[in-house]
Structure formats: C-alpha cells, structure tokens
Chains A and B, each alone.
Chain A
Amino acid sequence: MSVINKPKQFQLPRIFPRPTGHYGIWAWLGTVDHKKIGIMYGIVSFFWFLIGGIEALLLRVQLSHAEASMISPEVYNQLFTMHGTTMVFLVVMPLSAAFFNLLVPLQIGARDVAFPRLNALSLWVFIFGSILMNISWFTGGAPNGGWFGYPPNSTINFNPGEGMTYWVVGLNVLGVASIAAGLNFIVTIINLRAPGMTMMRMPVFTWMTFITSILIVLALPILGVAGIQLTADRIYGTNFFNSEAGGDPVFWQHIFWLFGHPEVYILILPAMGIVSEILPTFSRKPLFGYSAIVFSGALIGFMGWFVWSHHMFTVGLGPAANTAFTISTMFIAVPTGVKIFNWMATLWGGSIRLTTSMLFAIGFIAMFTIGGLSGVTHAVSPSDAQQQDTYYIVAHFHYVLFGGAIFGIFGGIYFWWPKFFGYFLNDKMGKINFVLMMIGFNLQFAPMHWLGLDGMPRRIYTYAENMGWEGSNIAATLGGFLIALSVLVFMINVFLSRRNKIVAPGDPWDGRTLEWSISSPPPHYNFAKVPEVNHIDDWWYKKYPSLLEGAPKEVLTPKVKVEDTSKVDESKIHLPDLSYYPLFVGIGLSIAALGLMYTYALVTIGLFLVFWGSIGWSTEPVNDPHDEHH
C-alpha cells in the first residue's frame, strides 16, 4: 500500500476532542447522521407542538363564553401570535423536516444526505432559533403583532418593547435553518439517488420533499428580506414600512404573502407525500396515477406563486387585481382535486387494512377536502369581503393545516415508527387517538365556519353577549380539549409501547419502497450494498416479481427478505465522522441575534462563535486519520 504524501492541511487547534461513536450525549450533539438528526427534529418540534397546543387551549378558554376575563388582552394577543408562529415555524415545518431527514436518504437508497454537517447545522439553528423566539416570554412580553406581523402595528411606534423584535429576528434565524435544509435536500435528491432510480421512479414522499425544498429555497429568502427590513425599521429607525416617510405598510403584505402562500404548500405538500405512501401500502396496490400526483404536486407548488394577493382581497387593490387573483386562486383547486380523486381511486379495488396510520391518511383526505372546498369560497373574492379576517378563515386553514398537515404527520408517525425504533406503537390506542382527534377536531373547527359567517372577527379576545356566538364557541372549546386528550393518548401510547416493546421486523406493513428493504431500526450506514432500482415501488416488485407479468389475484409470498445485517463488514463502509462545529455555529447565530436587541458584546461573541465554527468546520477533514473505519 502506498500512501500519497499530501501537504498537511491546515486545521484549527481543537478545544474539545472530536466526538466519536454511536452512543452517549456527544454522539447526538455531534451527530451528522440523518436519522439521529431527524429524531431530534421530531422530539423538539413535538415539544413545541405541546406548547403551541397549550397556547391554543388558553385562547379557547378565554373565548368559551362572552365577556370572559380569564386572560387579559395583552396576554391574549401574545398567545395567538405565538400560537400561529409556533405551529407554522416550530411545529409543522420542522416535523416535516424530521420526515425529510428520516426518509429521503432511505427512500432513494443513499447513506446520508449530501451535506451531513450542513444538515446538523440546520437542526441546531432551528433548535436555538426556536428557543430564542420563546425567550421573549420571560423578557417582558412575547411577540404580540400576529404571526403575519403587519406594520404599522408591528413597528416600534405602535409596538414598543422587544416582543416583535424577538419575533422578526427569530424568524430570520429560523429561515437560515430552513434554507440550508432545503438546499441540502435538493442536492441530495438530485445527486444521491441509487442507480436506476430515475426521477419518475422516486417515491412520492421524496418527490414532495423535492418540490417543498425548492419552495423553501425560493420562499424563505423573501421572508428574510422582509424580516431584515422590519428589523431595521424597529432597531435602526429606517422607514421601509413607515408611510409618513414614504414607506409603505402594504408593501410588507405583498412580500409577506409572496412568501406566505408558497409557505402554505411548504406545510401541506410533505403531508400529501406521507399520505401517498400510506394509502397504497394499506390498499396493497400501487398509487393510482403516480405521475398525475407528482405533476399536480409540482403544479400546486408552481401556481402557489401567483395567488398571494388573495390574502389581501380587502386591502383595496381594486377590482382588476382582485379579478386576476380570484382566477389564479380558483384554478389551484384543479390540481388539488386531481390529487384527491387519485387517492380515492387508490382505495378503489384495494384490499384495505385499517391500521391507525391508514385511518389518519383517510382522515387526511376527508378533512383536507373540506378545507379545500372552503378555500374555493374564499377565492370567490366578493364573498371573501365578508369572510376575510373572520373565524371562517380560521376554520378553513385549520382544516388544511390540522385536518391536513397534522393528520398526515400523525399517520406518518404511526407508519414509520416501527422502522426507526424497531417496535410498534399500539394500534388500539392509536385508533383511540385517531377517533378522539377526529371528533375533537371537527367539534372545534366546524363551528368556526358558522362563527365567521355570523360576523365574528379573528383575533378578538372577547365579544359581547348579544352577538349570538356563545354556543359555537363553547363547542369549539370542548373540541379543543378533546384534541388535547387525543394528544395525551398518543403520548401514553408512546410511553407504554416503549415499555412493552413489540419488536417490529424490517418490513412490518408489507411496504413498497426502499426503506422497508432494510432492518428496523436501520443500521447507521443504511444500506450495506447500494440497491439497484428497476421500478417505481422497487421493493414491492422485488418481493412479488410475478406482479410485473400481470399475475392473477392470488396469495403471493415475498421472493426476497429484508437485508440481514449481521454479516455486514462495517469496516468497508465509509461515513463521515462526527463534528461539533455545526452546534457551535448554530448557538453562535442565535446569540448574535439576541445581541441585536441588547448589546453588541453579545453580537460579537455570537459572531465569533459563528466564524470560529465555520473555519473549524471548513478545515476539518471528513474523517480523522485515527478513525479509518468510519
């Protein structure tokens, strides 16, 4: 063996030894493994899901009857601002990111994502960014200008105090995490697919990840620009949104919604991907109209750029603009409808097993349809003049984001849990979880349609007794507590299932895609041998090759088994070493952001961490010499 003598590369002196191994706290803090990163994404965003849920319950308690005074208007405004911000940026986006991380490399037959350390950076920036935003609760008041932060109400003139600065600075930090992750998954999906996996052989979840990532990379910078402008207005007294100095508050609305509408699809497309995996698995037949589902997903992502002003139908853009955005918005219903009908056709003629994840997937279609239909009534801009900023809108987007995204995500959790943890979640408790959530969800959000049509505006902390809104509000509050109960059942289920493990095999559901071809939980290197792909749902056809010749309806036994990892020679498998630099860069970024509000000393410390971390990171070799094997 001859070792080529390379000139010795510059490396920063290490303060801490480079973490190694697969166990212990440093194995997590320094990890670059997409599965560990995915699990951490999941845990942290589930924590925020609980916080955001508690915020929602407090709102519901206050609204449960007229003229209530459980919660003061100051706190109420903070609660609804943080409920929205939390659920969008700290729950649905990172929960989707958890699924991207866990699944994409496995579904395309790769060992990891394209940039493992960048992936770790996304995670840490997200975690510290989310903490940064919530510190505001303890520093004199959380953000209180709404998750949309409309100026002038969000400017320093009308909103003194640090709350909204935390909000806008926090969003910019979180944006860094999302953009880095988006780029990572685009590159991963384009470059790391196993041999034979053409784009049109990719699992639909990976497709939706790809489309979502493109949307993230294009949309989040827009929010970033708006955020920097608002930060500058608030901290440095610039006049981007100050109309008295020639700025324009409506300009904020345009850029916010130019980000905000694609954001809606960023939130829902991953869940659509999840559902598109669950439905065929438990119907035991292929997804109906794979290419139609993929293309309609892409079309939704594309058309999502041309509809932002439907959030602004009442701003006064005039009938011509409203006509244009009415038409573009309505036509988004077409690709959405195509998806729904294709999912239904997937059920048609199937052999349906109603597992918990299948129930959630079917629930997704049922609830998302309602959200889609009420969406069409918003697109009707003349009647939207009545609905805009009322509870009818609140009902609509919860049908899309809770009945849609959250149902899809819960389905995904039950579906892939055995894959990543090696044991099943209890199916009976899962069904209780589903039924409670389904009833609670509808009890909470269906009455909000009536409330909106009866003229109840959003974001009001109280209402007069004679408005006739009390009955529906009581129902909604009860529904909220039923949802909370269902989430509690889920947590008990996780706890009990973990204690009394029922071991899951590698392919527990008779799956279709590559992640089911390896053991559960997957080995840290994923695939001992890079798989070769010949079809959509390749694993399914490897198991049942006779289906390719149009086998008659019969009982088939799988022709191949899940990879046996006991004989794998791990020394032949090369994976990058762990690194703590992403963690430090992540911490540094949030410290610097915090410093913007208080003192430049913190900014300096934070930026120092960022620079030190980045230089250490860029000069650190993928593998240290002493650790040849990994």
Chain B
Amino acid sequence: MITKRIKSVFSAVALFALLFVMMGCNPESPQSTFDTHGPVAEIQKNVFMFTFWIAVFVFIIVEGGIIYLTFRFRKKDDKLPSQIHGNLKLEIMWTVIPAIIVVIIAVPTIMALWKTQVMPNEEDSLIVEAVGHQWWFEFKYPTEEIVTANELHLPEDKDVIVKITSQDVIHSFWVPKIAGKIDMVPLHENLLYLHADTPGLYYGQCAEFCGIVHALMRFRVIVHSEEDYQKWLEEMRTPPMKTANGTPEDEGRKLFVGNCSMCHTADSYKKGAYHKEKEAQNSRWEEWKNNKEESDIVSAPNLTHFGNRITLGAGLKENNYDNLVKWIENPDSLKIGTRMKNHASIYKSDNNLTSEQVEQIAKYLLSLKPSNENMATYNN
C-alpha cells in the first residue's frame, strides 16, 4: 500500500520533471549559452555542465530521499517513535562529503576562471574598444582607426581583447554564444577575451539594468572569414557613392548635414576621422551633461556606411526603408526615451520635418555604402 503510493508520487514527480525538461532549454535561441561558437563560451558551458550533473546527482538523492521518507514514515499508530537526537558518524559524513564535492567542483572552476579571464598576448590580438551609451554600443578599432556602432565586426579564429568602458551609467557587454559578459563601467576599463571560431551573425545584449530602454540596448557581432574581414576594413575606409544632384538622396544629404550631423558623424572613412570622432563624441557628451534640460546636442552613434548595417536602433529592427522612416519620424514609436527624441531640434514642435523630408533622409542614409561593389558577405 505504502510502496504503491510512493511509486505513484514518484511517477507523478518524474512526469512533471519530464514536462519541464521538454519545455526546457532551446539551443535555437540566438542567445543560447549552449550553442557556443568560441573557446570562452565553450569553457564556460563545460564547467557549467560539469557542475550541473553533480547537482543533478545531489538533487536526486535529496528530493528522492524527501519523498521516500515522507511516505515511508507516515504515522501508522499512536506509538511514539524512537527518540533519536543525532548520530555523530552520520553527521560527520554529511559534512565531509559535501565538502569533498565542493572541492571537486572548485578545481575545474578555478582552472576555467583563469583560462577565460586572463587576457591573451596583446601584440598577437586584435584590440577593440567598446563603449556603452544609453542605449547603444560604440565600437572602435584603435589600431585600424575605424569607428562604428551597434554592429561589431570580427575576424574568425583570432584572439580579440575588447577594452570595455561606458560613457554614462553601468552597462554590460554580452554575446552569449561567444563569451560571458563583463560590465561596462564609466571611467573604468574592463578587458574581455573574445574568440569566435565560426563566421556568422551573433546576438548581443546589454545585461546590466541601465535605465528606461535597457531591454532595447542590443547589438550584433558579425564574424567574418579573415578575407572578408580584410574586405570590411577596406570598405570602412572607402567613401560612399556621391549622391547625384536633384535626387531625393541628395536632398536627404543636405537635410542630414543641416539637422543631424552635429551628433551623428557619417564620414569616418576619411583619414584622421577616427580621432576627430573621439573628440566630437566627448564634446557632445559634455554638452549634454552640462545642460541636460536644453541641450540639443547628445552623444550619438556613428553612421558611417549606415546602408550596410543589418539593424537600426541598436539591434532593434531590421534596417530597411520602412523601419528607418518610422524611426526618423518618431523614434518613440520603436524605442521610448531615446536622447535623440528628447533633444534633437527636429523633434521640437516649431521645427518638425515634413514626411517628405524624413523619407529623403532615410533614402540618403540607406545610400551610405562603400562605392566599390566588392562587398563582404554578411550572411549567416
């Protein structure tokens, strides 16, 4: 009778557990920590799985034990059970065994920790700088003198050291399939070791709560073959095609220069533009910081070769004409609380753009592509 009940409870619990496992992890998810594409994420996954199986073992013993004991020792009559106060041997045993298990977990943990957190040799590595802004990512390549935003391009199979900081509040830089996260702390530089071993498109997202649209602070990492990566570098130094007089793109260019270019740089393909952008970004920040109510200047993502971007609004939407028009018309419709909407003069009532002008700007921005057609592949 009692064993039958235990069995039925066990099978109910087992069924429940199975149900959970079935709905369980989804390696198809673009941010799955199980579908790893680099040694750092791989090491982190392996040490997790190692701990996980030990935890499963302990879980079965404890949970099975609780169910068994509860039913095995149900009250049968009014007799008092023997009054046991303890058992020194048993208690020593279940102090020592967990301690041993902890040591067994600690050894691979500490090995993995040092493997993933000690930086590779700086000379043989690609150095990238990542700066967090509310609510977008700025990426800089100090050696290559390239600056871009929200889409980080990396070569495959190369050690990368990401120097990470923030301009405003604390953010966190995280590309789950390539490596675990590290925080972006203002005026402080953190280092993250990245190494991607397959070309492809990877999702990243800010992981530290950073204000109103923390949820929409996303980015992409595009990993190229070495050859494609070199092409990309080349493109980033190539000017876009000239807009022809009288075309909507050309009208858009004029509007952009007049209304947008104080905050958005779009010509960092030029020589020396890298250092100029650094200074410009700092002065925009100072401008906003010192005059938060009135300032119509704010830090803003670099838009060089924006036409080649996959997404807009910091990994938010596919970068296409319709979305871009919506975005320029009213950023709030896609992402509430952006500094652009709150500060740019075009959103102040006396200075609204007509929808035609918005469309012209969108067309211009989408035309920002390197003039040589020898494009790198961005597909998955």
Q: Point out residues on A near B: beta carbons under 8 Å.
A: 72-74, 77, 145-146, 150, 152-153, 157-160, 243-244, 249-250, 283-286, 288-292, 314-316, 318-319, 322-323, 326-327, 330-331, 333-334, 337-338, 340-342, 344-345, 347-354, 362, 365-366, 369-370, 373-374, 376-377, 379-390, 442, 446-447, 450, 453-463, 466-469, 471-472, 475, 544, 547, 550-551, 553-556
Contacts and interface: CB of A to CB of B under 8 A. Distances in A.
Given A250-B185, A373-B55, A386-B33, A458 B23 contact: no
A182 B361 CA distance: 64
A326 B66 contact: no
A455 B32 contact: yes
Nearest to A456: B31
Given A158-B169, A376-B51, A383 B80 contact: no
Contacts of A291: 86
Given A456-B31, A555-B79, 11 more contacts: A153-B170, A285-B81, A330-B102, A341-B90, A347-B73, A377-B48, A381-B109, A385-B180, A462-B216, A471-B23, A547-B83
B209 A334 contact: no
Interface stretch (B39-47, B151-159, B247-255): B39-47
A72 B106 CA distance: 43
Interface string B57-89: 011001101100110011111111111111100
A380 B91 contact: no
A153 B41 CA distance: 29
Contact of B106 (A326, A447, A551): A326
Contact of A344 (B23, B62, B209): B62
A244 B81 CA distance: 68
A553 B110 CA distance: 52
B215 A460 contact: yes
A74 B212 contact: yes
B91 A467 contact: no
17 contacts: A145-B209, A153-B210, A283-B81, A285-B80, A316-B190, A322-B117, A344-B62, A351-B77, A362-B66, A369-B58, A386-B41, A450-B23, A453-B32, A453-B33, A457-B206, A469-B29, A544-B80
Interface stretch (B93-101, B276-284, B344-352, B365-373): B93-101
Nearest to A326: B109
B183 A323 contact: no
B75 A386 contact: no
B326 to A, nearest CB: 15
A291 B216 CA distance: 52
A288 B117 contact: no
Most chain A Cβ neighbours within 10 Å, of B45, B109, B174: B109
B274 interface: no
B323 to A, nearest CB: 13
- 10 closest Cβ contacts across the A-B interface? A455-B31, A385-B180, A460-B215, A383-B48, A316-B190, A337-B98, A468-B29, A341-B94, A454-B29, A382-B112
A284 B23 contact: no
A383 B44 contact: yes
Given A342-B91, A455-B31, A382 B86 contact: no
B105 A455 contact: no
Contact of A319 (B79, B114, B186, B214): B114
Nearest to B175: A455
Contacts of A347: 66, 69-70, 73
B30 interface: yes
Interface band, chain B:
35 or more
A348 B134 contact: no
Contacts of B186: 152, 243-244, 249
B234 interface: no
A168 to B, nearest CB: 16
A277 to B, nearest CB: 16
B211 interface: yes
Contact of A554 (B29, B79, B91): B79
B240 interface: no
A290 B85 contact: yes
Nearest to A282: B75
Contacts of B80: 284-285, 351, 544, 547, 551, 553-556
Contacts of A462: 215-216
Given A73-B336, A285-B82, A334 B182 contact: no
Most chain A Cβ neighbours within 10 Å, of B80, B114, B174, B216: B80
A353 B75 contact: yes
B81 A553 contact: yes
Contacts of B48: 377, 380, 383, 386
Given A157-B289, A285-B81, A472-B23, A453 B34 contact: yes
B187 interface: yes
Contacts of B79: 351, 553-555
A461 B59 CA distance: 33
Given A344-B65, A386-B176, A457-B207, A330 B106 contact: yes
Contacts of B83: 285-286, 547, 550
Contacts of A145: 209
A158 B211 contact: yes
Contacts, number: 317
A380 B47 contact: yes
A289 B91 contact: yes
B1 interface: no
Given A319-B118, A352-B70, A385 B44 contact: yes
B51 A377 contact: yes
B208 interface: yes
Contacts of B20: 442, 446-447
A354 B86 contact: no
Interface in B136-172: 164, 168-170, 172
Contacts of A377: 48, 51-52, 55
Nearest to A462: B215
B213 interface: yes
B15 to A, nearest CB: 13
Contacts of B304: none
Most chain A Cβ neighbours within 10 Å, of B59, B114, B214: B214
A72 B336 CA distance: 9
B82 A349 contact: yes
Nearest to B90: A345
A319 B117 contact: yes
Interface string B251-264: 00000000000000
B73 A333 contact: no
Contacts of B34: 453
Interface in B114-141: 114-118, 134
Nearest to B78: A555
A427 to B, nearest CB: 14
A284 B82 CA distance: 9
A338 B90 CA distance: 10
Nearest to A466: B30
Nearest to B55: A373
B204 to A, nearest CB: 9
Contacts of A383: 44-45, 47-48, 51, 112, 180
B29 A467 contact: yes
B97 to A, nearest CB: 8
A579 B138 CA distance: 62
Nearest to B315: A464
A6 B58 CA distance: 68
Contacts of B81: 283-285, 349-351, 553
Contacts of A362: 66, 70
A382 B118 contact: no
A455 to B, nearest CB: 2
A528 B171 CA distance: 61
A460 B170 CA distance: 15
B179 interface: yes
B275 interface: no
Contact of A381 (B32, B73, B113, B176): B113
B322 interface: no
B270 interface: no
B7 interface: no
Contact of B26 (A158, A353, A442, A450): A450
Contacts of A384: 180
